[in-house]
Structures are given as C-alpha cells and as structure tokens.
Amino acid sequence: MCPKYECATELLGKKWTGLIIRVLLGGPKRFKEIKEQIPEMSDKMLTDRMKELEHCEIIKRNVYPEMPVRIEYELTQKGQGLEPVIQSIQDWGEHWC
C-alpha cells in the first residue's frame, strides 16, 4: 500500500488541491474562472498548484490559438478518477469534523 497511497495523499494533502479538482470536475475552466470560485486563494498559490497538478498529470492545459489566445485547464482521466476520493473525504469531513 505505502508508495501508491503516499503518491495520492501527498498530493491531496496540500492546501487547495482538492478544491481545485472539485471545481474542475464541473468541466474545463480558464484560470480566471477557477480563481472566481476560490477567491481566498492567491494567484501565486493557484499558479503553483496548477503546475504541480499538471506535472502529476491530474490536469492538462489546453491552448487555443485565438486572438487573444485562450487557455483552459481540464482534468485528465487520472484526475477524473479522483472524484470518489474527494467525495469520500468530503462525506467523512461533513460527518465528523
């Protein structure tokens, strides 16, 4: 169990990560749209978390060559697979925290 469990919890244990994933479970979003749903989080923090999530292949960054250029973030399949995890944590927290 160890290394795989740690891989997941190290990521999910970081502040804001679960919330960002939850916002993206609603479909692809632009940076600004994610920010609007989590106003307490700084731009710097969101940028850092998005880079980590992209590095871990939880989200992908799509660049549309329009004028001005449009950039959207969406969950990969790996990222979408976190839905039951986030839901069960949320359920537990609501009941017990």
Which residue ranges make up the site for a second copy (CB under 8 A)? Answer: 1-10, 12-15, 18-19, 22, 40, 78, 81-82, 84-97
Nearer to a second copy, 6 or 43 (CB): 6
DSSP code per residue over 5-22: HHHHHHHHTSTTHHHHHH
CA dist., res. 83 & res. 24, Å (int):
10
**Integer-rounded Cα radius of gyration of the chain:** 14
The neighbour count for residue 44, using CB atoms within 10 Å, is 8
Minimum gap (Å) between residue 71 Cβ and a second copy: 25
Q: At 94, list the tokens.
A: 């609501």
Nearer to a second copy, 55 or 66 (CB): 55
Nearer to a second copy, 71 or 93 (CB): 93
